[in-house]
């Protein structure tokens, strides 16, 4: 094991399988260890490259192994799958990780810090609560419609439902059911407010998040989501790559020398894709009151393109700006609209 230069890990819930290779790519060892014994085993090894899939628990293990002096590389599971040979097993998966990590053109995932993981977790909980709130509200609207009551789609359920139930003749069991749903709807609203307050607290302590807030149209929710995904931006070679990862570019199905571009749809970062589109629409609604190169560009594009197309283009630009701020450790500083040329004195002209 002293000759191991590359180790592939197949992460399991309780057991982790390791496949070690030397610099020539020859197998050095295969070993199965308990998750609790992994760090102790790796601490006895000389510093080497350790690869694993970017899955549950991978970011914590990556940070711990990096602290031991190893170089850790996280790979998306979909990039490891093509290297699995014939029959699948845990050791074969670990070997496939070694093969994927050794590719010079492979794209890697940057390990997240504890702060980034906290922000990502808060956003996932918020997304779940939002979906539950929409689902509960739709159930209330549908049940009322079954009894001939049609409420406006954006009405305040917590405010109007009690008066509706008091004025309508419904079975007592249905009234109790709707009352329980209303209480659940109010509870979800309160929980969303709590999570958003936690996000604001985390964002206030995050230096990158504060710099991202300087981007026009970006609010606390989107800034915290960007901070949780971007980090220092090392995992993306350019802002163009980050925008493509978000799905803010046309999908491509090209073959035989013929280029075929499809519509724009959510990429790998679907929630962040949606947030940036919403930020773009918010910015466009008040663009007539804004100044600067970005506002001028949006107004010029709106003259020749549809609103949704302009929103996608603006979201793409906002994503690129966010990557530049994260990778260059800078802030958004709008350029002057125009630079006035110095006036020439006519008497001194030749």
Q: pLDDT-derived band of residue 187, with 50, 70 and 90 as boundaries?
A: very high
- Return the pLDDT at 337: 44
Q: Are residues 136 and 181 in contact, defined by beta-carbon separation less than 8 angstroms?
A: yes
**3-state SS, residue 50:** strand
Q: Provide the pLDDT for residue 343.
A: 45
pLDDT attached to residue 25: 86
Residue 243: C-alpha distances to residues 211, 305, 316 (Å): 19, 20, 6
Q: What is the pLDDT of residues 326-342, one digit of tens each?
A: 988 888 887 654 444 44
The CB density around residue 186, as the number of other CB atoms within 10 Å, is 15
pLDDT tops 50 at residue 10: yes
The pLDDT of residue 145 is 87
pLDDT, tens digit (0-9, with 9 covering 90-100), for 282-299: 999 988 888 888 999 999
Reference 106, options 270, 255, 245, 235; nearest CA is 235
Contact criterion met (CB below 8 Å) for 280 and 318: yes
The CA distances from residue 200 to 17, 194, 205, 319, in Å, are 40, 10, 9, 21
Average pLDDT over residues 169-196: 91
Three-state DSSP class for 340? coil
In whole angstroms, what is the distance from residue 113 CA to residue 347 CA?
65
Distance CA 208, CA 220 (A): 12
Tens digit of pLDDT for each residue in 211-260?
999 999 999 999 999 998 888 888 888 888 888 888 887 777 677 777 76
What number is the average pLDDT over the span 164-181? Answer: 86
Q: Mean pLDDT over residues 340-347, rounded? A: 41
Confidence of residue 34 (pLDDT cuts 50, 70, 90): very high
Looking at residue 348, its pLDDT comes to 35
Chain center to CA of 55: 15
* pTM score of the predicted model: 0.81
pLDDT, tens digit, 9 for 90 and up, residues 115-160 = 989 999 999 999 999 999 999 999 988 898 888 888 776 667 777 7
Q: Tokens at residue 329, please?
A: 């450790």
Tens digit of pLDDT for each residue in 59-94? 999 999 999 999 999 999 999 999 998 788 999 999
Mean local confidence (pLDDT), 44-73: 92
Residue with tokens 């094991």: 1
H/E run at residue 20: strand 15-21
């Amino acid at each position: 094991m002293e000759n191991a230069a590359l180790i592939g890990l197949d992460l399991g819930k309780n057991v982790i399988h390791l496949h070690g290779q030397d610099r020539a790519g020859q197998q050095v060892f295969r070993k199965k260890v308990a998750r609790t014994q992994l760090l102790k085993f790796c601490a006895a090894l000389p510093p080497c490259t350790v690869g694993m899939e970017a899955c549950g628990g991978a970011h914590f293990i990556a940070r711990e192994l990096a602290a031991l002096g190893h170089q850790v590389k996280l790979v998306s599971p979909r990039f490891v799958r093509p290297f699995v040979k014939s029959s699948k097993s845990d050791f074969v998966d670990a070997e496939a990780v070694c093969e994927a990590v050794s590719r010079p053109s492979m794209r890697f995932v940057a390990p997240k810090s504890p702060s980034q993981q906290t922000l990502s977790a808060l956003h996932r909980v918020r997304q779940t609560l939002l979906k539950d709130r929409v689902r509960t509200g739709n159930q209330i609207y549908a049940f009322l419609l079954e009894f001939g009551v049609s409420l406006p789609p954006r009405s305040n359920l917590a405010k109007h439902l009690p008066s509706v139930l008091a004025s309508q003749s419904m079975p007592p069991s249905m009234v109790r059911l709707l009352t329980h749903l209303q209480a659940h709807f109010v509870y979800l609203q309160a929980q969303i407010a709590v999570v958003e307050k936690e996000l604001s607290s985390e964002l206030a302590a995050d230096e990158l998040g504060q710099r991202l807030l300087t981007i026009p149209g970006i609010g606390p929710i989107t800034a915290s989501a960007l901070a949780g995904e971007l980090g220092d931006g090392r995992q993306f070679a350019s802002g163009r790559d980050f925008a493509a990862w978000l799905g803010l570019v046309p999908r491509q199905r090209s073959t035989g020398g013929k280029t075929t571009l499809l519509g724009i749809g959510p990429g790998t970062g679907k929630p962040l894709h949606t947030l940036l589109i919403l930020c773009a629409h918010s910015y466009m609604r008040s663009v007539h009151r804004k100044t600067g190169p970005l506002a001028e560009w949006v107004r010029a594009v709106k003259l020749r393109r549809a609103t949704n197309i302009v929103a996608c283009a603006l979201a793409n630009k906002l994503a690129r700006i966010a990557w530049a701020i994260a990778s260059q450790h800078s802030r958004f500083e709008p350029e002057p609209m125009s630079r006035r040329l110095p006036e020439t004195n006519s008497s001194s002209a030749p």
